[in-house]
Structure 1
Amino acid sequence: MGMVDVLSHTLPTNLGYIAAYAMREGFDLEVWDYELEHFLAVKFLERVRDVQPAVIGFSCMTPTIVNGHHIATLVKRHFPHVITVVGGAHSSALPERTLEEFPFFDLVVNQEGEETFLEICRIVRDGDPVRGLVGTTWRDGKMIIREQSRPFIKDLDAIPFPARELYHMVGKQSGHSSRGFSNKLKSTEIFTSRGCPYKCTFCAITATFERTLRLRSPGNVFAEIEDVQKRFDIDHFVIADDTFGLEKGRLETLCEGFRSLGVKSWNCDTRVDCVTPEILRLMKESGCAKVAFGIETGSPRVVALNKKKIDLERAREAVHWAKEAGIKHIEGNFIIGSHPDETPKDLELTAKMIRELPLTFVSISVIVPYPGTPNYEIMMERGHIYSTDWSEYVMFGKAPGWRTEHFSPDDLLRYQKRLNRAFYLNPDYMLHMLLSIRSFSELGYYLKAGKAFIKWVGGGDVMSEGADKMDISDEGFYPAFVSR
């Protein structure tokens, strides 16, 4: 955890899917979310002792893989018979290296997890060793073996809805589900698709889904919305697709369904070439309260280097169309150093574009060379990556342990703060946002986020208290006794 008053805090919906897939066959699962709860080693070990799991799975992105392994180390120290499984974008990109670096993970689930994790549960239940399983990387003595990839699930409608009952604690998260939507709202995430066919050099999605795109049927999406509305009384849906609306005609069908189902509010991320004025009006009418566009740069040269395949004039049009449609929040996502060859001149074009667009929010991050991305390969080849501490691979909150061709680590951080400061501390912007507030709850949200932001741009530490300080001491844990 960290910077939760500035960044989004999402639910473990990926784990909800994996859990539901195994629960359908009678397996008992629990989801423990240590982005929601502060991790205390003794309390964790007591839970493990009381539950007595046969398998513990860890979902780790690049900056959380180190802490994930800290927890796996505790498990193996006290419960060596428990199988520890790790999955996620990082281990999928570097499966062999993950097992080399982190000896207390027993095996990696490569890429999509539902089928493979279910098969692991079956094997362990039957008392057999987990060896040679398709879709895994595992240890055979001192050897590390990567098995062939498991085919992706073709029919997403065949996957049960996420087991939200295992993790859905409305109002317990800090920060926001998406900028502009406090986690005090009754919100949840929903995926209508998996994957993205584009080849952006900075994006790590290829590690998990390669360059595939699979879509759920609109009817299946609507059935999940109805189920969630009945069980959780949801006020806001976060459409968590990597890119919403890629198939022509599908976005319109989904919007019609959202409207028919009485969806109160929803937001999404999409491409500027997926929307038209008509589509954006339909989105607004169906409850869309925010749309975020991935633009990344204001330089046509860098767009081409990124292989983003968008036209910047279309980006300008899309933002203005969203404004004209009356969508409350419009966000532009930008990256400092989105390609390693970006220059100061390119960055000035980005700053100019941000100034000119009628955006409600911006996300201006620093490039992170995530394993599995072309940028990682380029920067490794050039010797521009200095740090192998994966916990430092974050877009906000820490000075990067890498450089690009034209920017030092300090340059990257300085430009990030400069562009964020120019946008959010603009007096006209602050007055506009103040006048848009409609409740004390909303006022409290913006005041808290604003305070954290000002502290960050001023050089202060805005990590949540204890966020980087997991309590991994097992002193005081007694395996045979319940601690009172």
Structure 2
Amino acid sequence: MEKRYGKLSSAGSNLPPIGLCYLAAVVKNIGVKAFIIDSPALNYDVTETVNEIVGINPDMVGITAATISISNAADVAKELKKRKYNKPIILGGPHVTALPEKTLEVYPEFDYAVIGEGEETIADIIQNGINKGKLCDIKGIAIREGNGVIRTERRPFVKNLDSMPLPAWDLLPNFPNNYSQSAQKSNRSPSASLITSRGCYGQCTFCDTSVFGSRIRAHSAKYVIEMIKNLIDKYKIKEITFCDDNFIVNNNRLKSICEYMMQSEVDLSWSCCARIDTVKNKEKLEMMKDAGCWQISYGIESGNQKILDEEKKNVKIDKICEVVDWTDKAGIKVKGFFMMGHPLETVETMRETIRLAKRLPLSYAHVTYVTPLPGTELYKTAINYGEFDGDWTKMNMWTPIFIPFGLTEKEMEKYKKRFFVEFYFRPRIIFNYMKKIRSINQVKGIFRGFYAIVNSIVNNR
């Protein structure tokens, strides 16, 4: 949690690994036994994780990792090799998808890697092993050949997401009790999170689309409703967070999902993420509110138009203000995501970002440092805009690894700290938090949130 959220870890979310749940469901569907070891949920360190794997003794191990967790994943693989585990150790996830050759060269403990979406690939890998076939015949992987690494033929994206079985929630350790949303993301418990679509049409320079692509593919409303019913009936879920980048982009699908929630009168509240440019009118927001939506998170990023244009956000600040105002007036709370340390950032543009955050009717705001992650356009161009430390282990959005020309690390830390102080320590925000209290758990959650903010300010992270 510390790696993921920095000094705000005490207020962070611990969400189910939905991607692994899909993969495990596919494996089960072809008649092979699957296990999920969710180390963060179990609070396992490397040794405990490896002990669990060795105890199961599976025919292969798959490890998923983003850039922030790639070194931990490698530590697990390395320890398995030390324990004489001689079966395939396969790496997947956004980091290796962006940099397959380099990742396998840096970490020889991984035998090969899945590039992109893994559901069809993992099924082929299993069948290939059963049939004693050649790895080079499998699409969408990176394998070792001689002293180097080669990629096999590219695997197309999954066209029909509904063809996949429902996620294997039952394989998660003590689901949903081992998982929690942050105080800012959840009104009720038990809660769960869903991803109902893949891909994003946006061209934001700081965003990685290498795993799911730039074309949006979505589960049908019928499939989404089936997932919701499964979570309610089997696990008594009271709240769902839709983590899609583009949950509300398809109006017809959204309408069908909202109509189900309204007509069936399910005891469910929910929140989602959305792009500003997908909100064309107030009526959409009013429908979502009637269907139980209580919060929308928008990526606002900066209060400076030139920076937004440079990063290809394709949105005007006037539109941001309009949509956030519509959302607030519809009775839906708004969380704004911001970043500092953009290309072209200056002290004045950081002040503009703070002013915008305070001017908007936001209930919550979150600010991190711009981090040029592998797979993003900014990863390739960052050196043209400032000093860039490409150490993967520091790419956590809490460590300022990219310092734009004309700024210093101390200035960035100062204004990030000022953002939290000026936004949160205002009567309106404190009063909104107090109004939210309905239970002792919410008191604890709010306390954790404010403690984390103060901790972040004091420690400059």
Aligned to 2:5: none
Q: Is the 8 A contact 2:62 2:92 kept in 1?
A: yes
What amino acid does structure 2 have at the position aligned with 1:412? Answer: M
Query: How far apart, CA to CA, are the structure 2 residues paired with 1:298 and 1:263?
Result: 38
1:372-412 per-residue CA deviation (whole Å, 9 max, x = no partner) reads 11111111455621242x2211123xx32331223333332
- Report the Cα distance in structure 2 between the residues aligned to 1:129 and 1:178, rounded to whole angstroms: 49
TM-score (normalizing by structure 1)? 0.89
Q: Secondary structure at the match of 2:91?
A: strand
- Confirm or deny: 8 A CA contact 1:6 1:449 kept in the other structure: yes
How many aligned residue pairs are there?
A: 453
- State the partner residue of 2:11: 6
Q: Which residue of 2 aligns with 1:191?
A: 195
1-side partners of 2:126 and 2:105: how far apart? 24
Q: Distance in 1 between matches of 2:138 and 2:407?
A: 44
- The one-letter amino acid of 1:417's match is K
Answering whether residue 128 of structure 2 is matched by residue 126 of structure 1, we say no
Instruction: Note the residue ranges of structure 2 that are not aligned, 5 or more in a row.
Output: 3-7
Residues 100, 352 of structure 1: CA spacing in aligned structure 2 closer, same or farther, 3 A cutoff?
A: same
Residue 228 of structure 2 corresponds to 225
Q: Give the SS at the match of 2:40.
A: coil
**1:428 — aligned with what?**
428
Q: Tell me by how many angstroms 1:48 deviates.
A: 2.4
Q: Which moved more, 1:37-46 or 1:345-354?
A: 37-46
> Percent identity of the aligned residues?
29
Whether contact under 8 Å (1:263, 1:286) holds in the other structure is: no
**How far, CA to CA, are the matches of 1:127 and 1:312 in structure 2?**
57
Does the residue aligned with 1:258 lie in a helix, a strand or coil?
helix
Name the aligned partner's letter for residue 188 of structure 1: A
Counterparts of 1:322 and 1:211 in 2: how far apart (Å)?
26
Q: State yes or no: 1:353 paired with 2:356.
A: yes
Q: 1:222-256 deviations in whole A, cap 9, x for unaligned?
A: 11211221111110011111122112433222211
Q: Is 1:332–2:341 an aligned residue pair?
A: no
- The C-alpha deviation readout for 1:48-96, integer Å capped at 9, x for no partner, is 2331111111110111000000000011222342211111111110000
Whether 1:366 and 2:369 are equivalent positions in the alignment is: yes
For the Cα contact (< 8 Å) 1:178–1:238, is it kept in 2? no
- The residue that corresponds to 2:440 in the other structure is 440
Could you say which residue in structure 2 is the equivalent of 1:170? 176
User: Partners in 1 of 2:406 and 2:260 — Cα distance?
Assistant: 48
Whether 2:392 is the aligned partner of 1:386: answer no
CA contact (8 A) 1:387 1:401 kept: yes
Give the distance between the partners of 1:117 and 1:383, measured in 2 at CA.
40
**Does the Cα contact within 8 Å between 1:8 and 1:179 map onto a contact in 2?**
no
CA change 1:45–1:392 in 2 (3 A) is same
Other structure's SS at 1:66 match: helix
Q: The residue matched to 2:9 in structure 1 has which SS?
A: coil
Structure 1 residues 418-466: Cα deviation after superposition (integer angstroms, max 9, x where no partner): 11121112233213322332222211110122112211211178xxxxx
> CA shift at 1:359, angstroms?
0.6
State the AA in 1 paired with 2:124. Answer: E
The reply to whether residue 149 of structure 1 matches residue 154 of structure 2 is: yes
Inter-CA distance 131–76: structure 2 relative to 1 (3 Å threshold) = farther
Alignment of 1:48-447 (within 5 A): 48-167=53-172, 169-173=175-179, 176-177=181-182, 179-181=184-186, 185-204=189-208, 206-261=209-264, 262-275=266-279, 276-327=281-332, 329-337=333-341, 339-381=342-384, 384-388=387-391, 390-396=392-398, 399-447=399-447
Structure 1, 282-291 or 346-355: larger mean CA deviation: 346-355
Does the 8 Å contact 2:363/2:432 carry over to 1? no
Change (3 A) 1:87 1:263: farther
TM-score by length of 2: 0.93
Separation in structure 2 between the aligned mates of residue 126 and residue 186 of structure 1, nearest angstrom:
43
Q: Quote the offset at 1:171 in angstroms.
A: 2.8
Change (3 A) 1:406 1:166: farther
Residues 177 and 238 of structure 1 are in contact (CA less than 8 Å); yes or no, is this contact kept in structure 2?
no
Q: CA deviation at 1:177?
A: 4.8
3-state SS of paired residue (1:43): helix
Shift of 1:130: 2.9
Report the CA distance between 1:334 and its aligned residue: 0.9
Per the alignment, residue 44 of structure 2 pairs with 39
1:202–1:367 contact (8 Å) kept in structure 2? yes
3-state SS, counterpart of residue 35 of structure 1: helix
Distance in 2 separating the partners of 1:336 and 1:323: 25
Bigger helix fraction: 2
Equivalent residue of 2:387, what SS?
A: coil
Separation of aligned partners in 2, 1:208 and 1:45:
27
Cα pair 1:76 1:82 within 8 Å, conserved? no
The question of whether the paired residues in 1 share the 8 Å contact of 2:37 and 2:49 is answered with: no
Partner of residue 459, structure 1:
459
Closer/same/farther in 2, CA of residues 178 and 429 from structure 1, 3 Å limit: closer
Distance 1:27 1:58, change over 3 A: same
Structure 1 residues 41 and 87, CA gap change in structure 2 (3 angstroms): closer
Cα distance in 1 for partners of 2:389, 2:460 equals 24
The change in CA–CA distance for 1:28 and 1:66 in structure 2 (over 3 A counts) is same
